[in-house]
Amino acid sequence: GLELSHCVGTNSLGPTGPWRSGGPCKMKRVRTVFKPEQLERLEQEFLKQQYMVGTERVDLAATLHLTETQVKVWFQNRRIKWRKQSMEQKAAKLSQFGVIQPASADSTDSKDHEEDTVDVEL
């Protein structure tokens, strides 16, 4: 579920949604922490299909007690992770056969994988 946090040093009554605001604080969404059961079900659905849309997404969100947006963003982030893993596997296979890939701006470095996730609402 969502956990709301408040800005330190402000006299505001607090956020009215999953966004923090007020005073010197910047607008920042509080990270959703999924329960293990929710993650397991989301992963199962991702294995079946990488895109969850329409009533399927609404139904899954209701079943897991999440918002439709939380499910949508989870699938977006999971697709990014999936593509990154696919690229890494492809690179590993190529290097195994002695094929060297040219360095590009898209190459994977030692950054924490969470920096690549998208956590926005549109």
Identify the structural domains of the chain with CATH numbers, from first to last: 36-94 (1.10.10.60)
Q: Is 27 helix (H, G, I), strand (E, B) or coil?
A: coil
More confident residue, 118 or 3: 118
Q: What is the distance between the alpha carbons of residues 115 and 25, in angstroms, rounded to a whole number?
A: 21
pLDDT of 96 reads: 83
pTM as predicted: 0.59
pLDDT surpassing 80 at residue 24: no
pLDDT surpassing 70 at residue 63: yes
Task: Kindly list the distances between the CA atom of residue 48 and the CA atoms of 35, 51, 68, 74, 99, in Å, as whole numbers in the listed order.
Answer: 20, 9, 18, 15, 33
